[in-house]
Chain A
């Protein structure tokens, strides 16, 4: 190397030494939290799964509004895909880098509370939450009787059906009982001569936990059953209601009306599924993806085993809570109250109509919130009629159990449902195995 080279700026050696050092330094550096002193505002981090598309933009809008109108406390959003959310919570918390505000799926609340990640809501916030939200939403955001956060989106489950496919099969309307559901499924299902499914009568899918388990639990609730016992320490799936659901699904697969190998999310929007049970969030997605074919989509309350039975379905949800390790919990709760409890005038609602920023955010993204009053204000009379059954279901839905070990119990249930669908287990075996495995694993989590 010539002297001229050595003196001209950054040499290769310096660069080679400097780069790893810089990376190491930046990697080890904790995010700037701020002190709250004048000129150095508190910076709260909010970790969510609103990582892309409509949801990301919808969340950023009120956050920007807060940052523009508040000098002392600023909020910075961080997002990961939903499939990585729990893992990210766990890893960041273990590394001492947990966000101030967390946006967990309510199913994980028991696990996160037990691990000391979530901070109970202060009394005034807990009272506001209990007063302002539906019972299912409050239950989902609570563990052991304590409220841990503001419910955000709340999803209830209902029956999606394709009007065109039902009409072509000579069926007037959606089924109201399980007998009608089966008949409709068998009449609409079609396969080609190679065994490929052309139309599933009733969509059963192994696409993910939420689809596989969600539809089974919704049917279980509709049959008057529960997945987890009152005390949360064991499962009650091995019951007459559980048996009825497993037998129904087994028959549908066995007689060719359902093809669990097909991705139901894609197949339904392609007109290859006549009926499927899913959450309310799907309407927004279907509307965007199906274009004019969306007019064939109808939503009805979940069919019941008997026509005169008591309505029930599953509800799932998310909430916004504060990390137990946050250095600025008061500021974090204040931001959450501003976002979730403070009502502001909504432009597109009736004159003078008010709703929380979070409710507006959810509805703009085609979702529901646990605040029924906000929903009615925001939806108005010109809203999508398909949202109606989901909104009605808020009154009678059963929240997904969120006891410690709930995620594992859900995974175990999914495995056994899949084993039932694929003929690895009989109904009896699937019920027994689920009970034995879930009881054992859930007990270990307490």
Chain B
């Protein structure tokens, strides 16, 4: 790697003013740097344009809509309403804060905890097995399966006469109304989302696991450390960067998720599994309330941003960069 600090004094010395040739050289370098910058911007232009068209413009439009009343078709019909849409989200009787936002957070946190714990255990187990590629492929399969298929299969399994209740009955337990009981509906969907997310987490954690030097394990073995000690003292701490990545991406995906919920419960029973993204979708595309939908989107954006920053801060305090 080039040591920038070591090069800087020499560069400064060569650029010292006082002579005509030195000034010309400085001008030449500045021109070259400008040329490089122009070329760099030219190369960046397509992606900047892409971001401008598909990110910045919609973001600005959404911000405008979040402070407007609009039915969705005629741009001339946008009526400014100030912060009414935001205050409406938190007004007395609104369901946005509770249970919708609460459900969103519980859904995301539940998914992260289950997926993280599950993937760490599975990754560690696979690392000690033969045919590792086969096991990883099996666990990765839910990722390449569409959410609609996953949701429908699990929905049938959860049904009163479905596979899960069949197993419970065979073991002598009474049936559970997994998706029909408000107390069990959200946890039931969380389990499915976590199960479907484990595959991608395993890939990231496997990469992290493979990057841990074998010498650490050899040293631990020489010191007589058992598998549990090795896991807690070596594997888990050195997996922290991978865990951070999994944690952040899973949490963001959990906070934004709604496809699985719409397939499995449509947000019900009542509002028991309703989440912010599903509510936004309904407000905009079913009811034509683009203002409240955009306001809800901005609130969710702030929630995602704050939670992600907090996660990064916690992991950085523990000495790891994202």
Q: Of the candidates A86, A115, A421, A437, which one forms a contact with B93 in the assembled complex, judged by CB atoms under 8 Å apart?
A: A437
Interface size class of B (residues with CB under 8 A): 35 or more
Task: Report if A115-B72 is in contact (Cβ < 8 Å); known contacts: A86-B286, A424-B270.
Answer: yes
Total A-B pairs, Cβ < 8 A:
101
Could you tell me the distance in whole angstroms from the C-beta of B206 to the nearest C-beta in chain A? 33
Chain A residues bordering chain B, tally (CB within 8 A)? 42
Provide the residues of chain A in CB contact with B169, threshold 8 Å: 194, 196
Residues of B within 8 A of A260 (CB): 180, 269
The 7 A-B residue pairs whose C-beta atoms are closest, nearest first, are A261-B180, A419-B270, A115-B71, A418-B269, A408-B287, A87-B285, A418-B270
Grouping DSSP codes into helix (H, G, I), strand (E, B) and loop, the A interface class, with mixed when no group exceeds half, is helix
Nearest Cβ in chain B — how far from A275, in angstroms?
A: 19
A422, B180: Cβ atoms under 8 Å?
A: yes
Check if A444 sits within 8 Å of B175, measured CB to CB: no
Which of A86, A208, A261 has the most CB atoms of chain B within a 10 A radius of its CB? Answer: A261
Contacts of B267 in A (CB 8 A): 415
B74 CB within 8 Å of chain A: yes
Q: Mark B172-185, 1 if CB is under 8 A from A, else 0.
A: 01110101111000
Cross-chain contact B74 with A116 (CB below 8 angstroms): yes
Give min CB distance, B273 to chain A, whole Å: 11
Given contacts A116-B77, A407-B287, A422-B181, list 7 more A-B pairs with CB under 8 A. A116-B71, A206-B180, A208-B266, A408-B286, A424-B270, A444-B88, A445-B289
Cβ–Cβ contact B180 & A115, under 8 A: no
Task: Let me know if A416 is at the binding interface, CB within 8 A.
Answer: yes
Q: Does A264 contact B (CB under 8 A)?
A: no
With a CB–CB cut-off of 8 A, which chain A residues contact B187? none
CA distance A405 to B272 in the complex (A): 23
Q: Is the interface of B mostly helix, strand, loop or mixed?
A: loop
B118 interface hit (Cβ, 8 Å):
no
Shortest distance in angstroms between A129's beta carbon and chain B's nearest beta carbon? Answer: 25
As a 0/1 sequence over residues 410 to 446 of chain A, the CB contacts with chain B under 8 angstroms (1 = contact) are: 0100111011011111000000000011001100110
Find the B residue at minimum CB distance from A325. B73
How far, in Å, is B58 (CB) from chain A's closest CB? 13
Interface residue? A312 (CB, 8 A):
no
**B160 on interface, CB distance cutoff 8 Å:** yes
Chain B residues positioned under 8 Å from A80 (CB to CB): none
Question: Contact at A116–B73, with CB atoms within 8 Å?
Answer: yes
Given A86-B286, A261-B179, A424 and B72 touching (CB < 8 A)? no
Residue of A nearest to B94 (CB): A440
Alpha-carbon gap, A261 to B267, bound state (A)? 14
Q: Enumerate chain B residues within 8 angstroms of A94, measured Cβ to Cβ.
A: 72-73
Within B243-298, which residues are at the interface with A (CB < 8 Å)? Answer: 266-272, 282, 284-289
Tell yes or no: A9 within 8 A of B by CB. no
State which of B73, B95, B282, B287 has its C-beta within 8 Å of the C-beta of A93.
B73
- Docked pose: A416 CA to B272 CA in angstroms: 11
Determine which of A418, A423, A440, A444 lies in contact with B289 in the assembled complex, contact meaning CB atoms within 8 Å: A444
> Are B288's CB and A90's CB within 8 A?
yes
Q: Within the assembled complex, what's the spacing in Å between the Cα atoms of A407 and B289?
A: 12
Is A111 an interface residue when CB atoms closer than 8 A count as contact?
yes
Decide: A415 near B286, CB < 8 A? Known: A115-B73, A196-B169: no
* Alpha-carbon distance between A437 and B270 when the two chains are bound, in angstroms: 13
Most central of B88, B269, B285 by chain A CB within 10 Å: B269
* A87→B93 contact, CB < 8 A: no
